[in-house]
């Protein structure tokens, strides 16, 4: 296994350009991470000017890692995206102290031409998006979704495709990210099944909620797991150790998307899953643009959804609305822009108070198959209210246990 060292900008760049799941008699789930009651915020500072995704991974009490996708990076005191660089991923480390004071430190990479992705594939037209992560023993694992430039496809005319998933294993996550060392572990090959939607360590396995890429028109989720022992096996290719939850409810060896049980039929490629000990259920939370109907009428999806289940393998309840996004309210100043879509909703249980859930989501602009991408996406340069995580805290419905499964 090749060990790599992270190259990144510390703060300010000087130059930029633009288990037992579902069976009776099992051990109870691991306790949730210790919570600290900070209100998260994502200010434009240090040159960080917005990014999406916003998965969080607790590293220690009061300390969390944040994983962002495509990111705008500018000068240290810049408050406009004009002239900013556009890098494929960035990270941040947040701190929440005992008094509830929040701080966040953004990081990205450096390259010959200035700002670069924090984790960079080093190949033109190929990059990683950072999708969730987990800690096991002393190591941090980050999901690396492999993306490549491709002809536009699907109702949103996305000019990229997926080729597989790797994990970055970081052996010293408690140190400053400047000192992080990481190695790459192959998790999956191919584009049909991508095990990155959410990652959960439970008992003797790590579970991967996996989205199926059905020609960029449908992204239902299945469940895949890996024995934690495989992470210590010394292997650089982990795919042979994967197991897939089959349609009959049994685990089958290998990554088998064609015979997998569909846990959730809707189209979220990213989500969060965590355990609610007071209710004794697992909670999934997500949001996604609609992929049905003509563009842009079919794009709007103003809802953050939740589902619950007694075990990771289900049965998962029907989705139910938790929150309506105000960006879709036609009475807001300026009205509703039909090119707007909101997505990437995820819970952050380490920041959630009892009986409540703190989550984030992101809103973006989409040009569609017949639109002028340069004109529509270029508006992000000036519309700084878009394209950064929006934090929300809401009370959990009191009747979560009363839902009937699918």
What is the pTM assigned to this prediction?
Answer: 0.89
For residue 103, the tally of other CB atoms under 10 A from its CB is: 12
Q: Note the pLDDT of residue 79.
A: 85
Indicate if the pLDDT at residue 24 is higher than 50.
no
Helix, strand and coil percent figures for the chain, each rounded to 5: 10, 45, 45
Indicate if the pLDDT at residue 304 is higher than 60.
yes
Q: Measure the CA–CA gap between 360 and 390, rounded to whole angstroms.
A: 5
Four-way CATH pick for 3-21+33-402: 1.10.3470, 1.10.10, 2.115.10, 2.60.40:
2.115.10
Q: Measure the CA–CA gap between 62 and 134, rounded to whole angstroms.
A: 16
Strand partners, 135: 140
- On average, the pLDDT of the chain sits at 87
- Residue 150, Cα to own-chain centre: how many angstroms? 22
Indicate if the pLDDT at residue 294 is higher than 60.
no
Q: Note the pLDDT of residue 214.
A: 84
Q: Note the pLDDT of residue 300.
A: 57
- Share above pLDDT 90 across residues of the chain, in percent, rounded to a whole number: 71
Q: Note the pLDDT of residue 2.
A: 37
335 band by pLDDT with thresholds 50, 70 and 90? confident
Q: List all residues 6 or more positions away from 216 whose beta carbon is below 8 Å from its beta carbon.
A: 153, 154, 155, 156, 158, 291
171 band by pLDDT with thresholds 50, 70 and 90? very high
Range from 2-6, 118-122, 265-269, 334-338 carrying the lowest mean pLDDT: 2-6
pLDDT tens, residue by residue, 348-380: 999 999 999 999 999 998 876 667 778 877 888
Indicate if the pLDDT at residue 10 is higher than 60.
no
Q: Note the pLDDT of residue 25.
A: 30
Indicate if the pLDDT at residue 404 is higher than 90.
no
Q: List all residues 6 or more positions away from 37 whose beta carbon is below 8 Å from its beta carbon.
A: 96, 100, 351, 353
Question: What does the pLDDT average to over 323-348?
Answer: 88
Question: What does the pLDDT average to over 256-273?
Answer: 95
Q: Note the pLDDT of residue 81.
A: 95
Question: What does the pLDDT average to over 303-323?
Answer: 96
Q: Note the pLDDT of residue 350.
A: 96
Indicate if the pLDDT at residue 301 is higher than 90.
no
């Amino acid at each position: 296994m090749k060990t790599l060292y992270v190259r990144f900008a510390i703060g300010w760049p000087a130059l930029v350009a633009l288990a037992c799941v579902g069976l009776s008699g099992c051990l109870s789930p691991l306790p949730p991470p210790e919570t600290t009651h900070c209100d998260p915020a994502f200010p434009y500072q240090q040159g960080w000017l917005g990014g999406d995704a916003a998965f969080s991974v607790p590293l220690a009490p009061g300390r969390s890692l944040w994983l962002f996708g495509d990111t705008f990076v500018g000068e240290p005191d810049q408050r406009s995206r004009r002239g900013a660089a556009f890098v494929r991923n960035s990270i941040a480390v947040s701190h929440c102290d005992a008094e509830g004071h929040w701080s966040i430190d953004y990081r990205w990479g450096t390259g010959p031409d200035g700002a670069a992705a924090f984790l960079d594939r080093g190949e033109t037209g190929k990059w990683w998006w950072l999708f969730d992560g987990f800690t096991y023993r002393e190591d941090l694992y980050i999901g690396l979704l492999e993306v490549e430039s491709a002809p536009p496809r699907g109702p949103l005319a996305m000019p990229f495709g997926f080729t597989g998933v790797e994990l970055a294993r970081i052996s010293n996550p408690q140190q400053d990210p400047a000192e992080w060392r990481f190695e790459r572990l192959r998790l999956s090959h191919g584009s049909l099944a991508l095990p990155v939607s959410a990652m959960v360590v439970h008992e003797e396995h790590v579970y991967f909620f996996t989205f199926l890429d059905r020609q960029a028109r449908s992204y239902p989720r299945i469940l895949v797991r890996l024995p934690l022992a495989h992470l210590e096996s010394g292997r650089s290719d982990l795919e042979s150790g994967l197991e897939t939850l089959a349609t009959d409810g049994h685990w089958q060896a290998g990554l088998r998307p064609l015979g997998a049980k569909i846990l959730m039929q809707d189209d979220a490629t990213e989500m969060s899953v965590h355990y609610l000990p007071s209710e004794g259920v697992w909670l999934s939370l997500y949001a996604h643009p609609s992929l049905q109907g003509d563009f842009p009428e079919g794009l709007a999806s103003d809802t953050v959804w939740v589902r619950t289940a007694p075990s990771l393998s289900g049965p998962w309840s029907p989705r139910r609305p938790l929150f309506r996004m105000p960006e879709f309210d036609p009475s807001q100043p300026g009205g509703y822009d039909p090119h707007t879509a909101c997505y990437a909703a995820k819970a952050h249980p380490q920041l959630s108070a009892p009986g409540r859930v703190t989550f984030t989501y992101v809103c973006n602009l989409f040009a569609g198959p017949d639109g002028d991408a340069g004109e529509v996406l270029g508006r992000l340069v000036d519309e700084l209210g878009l394209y950064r995580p929006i934090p929300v805290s809401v009370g959990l419905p009191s009747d979560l246990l009363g839902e009937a499964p699918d």
